[in-house]
Amino acid sequence: MVWDVVIVGAGPAGIFAALELAGARRGLKIVVLDKGRDIEARRCFQKQEHRQCVGCAPCSTLCGWGGAGAFSDGKMTLSTEVGGHLAEYIGKEPLQALLDYVDGIYLRFGAPERVYGLDREVEIEEIRKKAVLADLKLVPAPIRHLGTGRCGQIMQKMREELAAAGVVVRTGTPVAELIVRDGGIAGVRTTAGEMIAGRFVVVCPGREGAEWLKEEAVRLGLTMAINPVDLGVRVELPAPVMAHLTDVVYESKFIYHSRSFDDRVRTFCMNPYGEVVMENNEGLITVNGHTHAEKKTANTNFALLVSKNFTEPFKEPIAYGKYVARLANLLGGGVIVQRLGDLIAGQRSTPDRIRKGLVTPTLPEATPGDLSLVLPYRFLKDVVEMLKAMDAIAPGVFSRNTLLYGVEVKFYSSRLQLKPDMEAEIENLFAVGDGAGVTRGLMQASAAGVLAARTILGRV
């Protein structure tokens, strides 16, 4: 059998490609492949039972129907300014129209009506002024927050609609390689050796599959550009410290250029009243954060990421990020947590010092330790400078009790050379989403899937 479209990856990019294709009602034969579990079988024992990661392969937090971002916190950034590079391909106005279209689909499947950051211009302007005085740039972005829990419900409804439209979903089906014949895509081969033939292939493996896509691109001789390394820590502090910011814009996106090295540091994935969680990247344990739609904690967490461009001959941003993460795993058996006061004092945190602090960790499985033995000095210096700057607009950020978890690393692939419609150098092969190095978030990943689907529909 030859499928009309083979979609590799059941995250937001793959799901929205399938929705767009099926919604056209052309009678196309569509199959979606993912190495993870179906949505009803996705379960994280570490989160649900508060115990050490048991090393599920693949990790249900990252893989399976719904992907990583859509199945976790589900923050939808409704702006072209953040979340990826799609504007470089199609322009800001077409991208905004595409984001609005995608947003409408999420609403149809049950996303909440509320959008943060639209109706409080005076307060946002006041935050911006204070940020400028602290050498911070505020990037205001409207946010529609799905929340962990509601995400799963929305993804389930999308799954049911696609099934009703005849789309075949095969979870537990890892793809080993892309098959190319006569300069065009011919299908994929699974790790079990099964050949799945297709006229069109859309690859959207997400961040967890970024390294696989990069290896395939090298094997096939595709042109690639090196993306920066995004590496840092997750910060956790009492929610009232950030409440005057998160109540207005929900996810406060700040950018800072360090005085010591002029490196770009940014906040990412802010979770008011949320929890810190672990992720298992094929045995490599890293840290992330969620906010639930219903359940709230007393803390707010967010990532501080240092974006570093390296020069030739360096071409392995993913390998570098994994190398640093392995140091944390080596020293702490997984994620390390340290009080900011201990880091400044040059001493490791201990369970007793953590207990004495004012912040109760929402990830009790993290090992108290010393992040200075893990992160390079340059990265730690950048993080500390950023925290000091943020303290000027949110007093209490630079507190000895603030917790730092490490490491957080975003495995963005080296970016494939793509046409504006997301087609690669191989005919009828499309690469979309975070794993292709083009997007960095739920909304643009979804939009990229729609973009590729529309091109395919124009050809069939």
Given this model, what pLDDT does residue 228 score?
A: 74
Residue 287's closest CA among 209, 234, 218?
234
> How far apart are alpha carbons 443 and 16 in whole angstroms?
10
Residue corresponding to tokens 């190398």: 323
Token digits of residue 14: 């793959």
Q: Please give the DSSP secondary-structure letter assigned to residue 366.
A: S
Compute the distance between CA of residue 15 and CA of residue 354 in angstroms, rounded to an integer. 42
pLDDT in tens, 47-73: 655 566 666 767 766 778 888 765 666
309-326 pLDDT per residue, tens: 776 677 777 788 889 999
Q: Which amino acid is at 55?
A: G
Torsion (CA) 301, 249, 110, 15 in degrees, nearest 10: -70
Distance CA 183, CA 428 (A): 10
Q: Specify the length of the chain in residues.
A: 460
| Calpha distance 322→326 (Å, rounded) | 6
Q: What is 2-111+146-225+413-459's CATH number?
A: 3.50.50.60
The pTM for the full model equals: 0.83
Q: How far is 79 from 442, CA to CA, in rounded Å?
A: 12
Counting Cβ atoms within 10 Å, is residue 182 exposed (0-12), middle (13-18) or buried (19+)?
A: exposed
Whole-angstrom Cα distance, residue 40 to residue 49?
Answer: 17
As a whole-number percent, the residues of the chain with pLDDT over 90 amount to 67
Q: What is the pLDDT of residues 114-169, one digit of tens each?
A: 888 777 888 999 999 999 999 999 988 888 888 767 888 899 999 999 999 999 99
How many contiguous H segments (helices) and E segments (strands) does the chain have?
A: 13, 21
User: Per-residue pLDDT tens for 215-247?
Assistant: 999 999 999 877 777 899 999 999 999 999 999
Locate 239 and state its tokens.
């929610």
DSSP, collapsed to helix, strand or coil, labels residue 252 as: coil
The CA-based diameter of the chain, rounded to the nearest angstrom, is: 66
| Rounded Cα distance, 226 and 439, in Å | 14
Q: What is the DSSP letter of 263?
A: -
pLDDT for residue 98: 97
Q: For residues 281 and 89, which has the higher predicted lDDT (pLDDT)?
A: 89
Give the integer Cα–Cα distance in Å for 140 and 118.
9
pLDDT in tens, 385-403: 999 999 999 999 999 999 9
Cβ pair 103, 76 in contact under 8 A: yes
* Token couple for 151: 């995400």
pLDDT at 191: 96
Across the beta sheet with 229-238, the strand order is 136-138, 254-257, 264-271, 299-308, 229-238, 403-410, 336-339, 367-368
Per the omega criterion (within 30 degrees of 0), is the bond before 218 cis? no
- What residue ranges in 84-167 does DSSP mark as E strands? 136-138, 143-145
Q: What pLDDT does residue 145 have?
A: 82
Q: How many CA atoms does the CB half-sphere of 285 hold within 13 Å?
A: 24
Distances (CA, A) of 144 to 31, 61, 79, 250, 264: 30, 21, 11, 9, 26
Model pLDDT, residue 282: 76
Name the 3-class secondary structure at 189.
Answer: strand
- Rounded Cα gap, residues 66 and 438, in angstroms: 19
Residue in 104, 71, 100, 99 with CA at minimum distance from that of residue 86: 99
Positions of E strands within 272-402: 275-281, 284-290, 299-308, 336-339, 367-368
Domain layout of the chain by residue ranges: 2-111+146-225+413-459, 121-141+228-410
Q: At what angle do helices 12-23 and 92-108 cross, to 10 degrees?
A: 80
Residues 349-363 have a mean pLDDT of 96
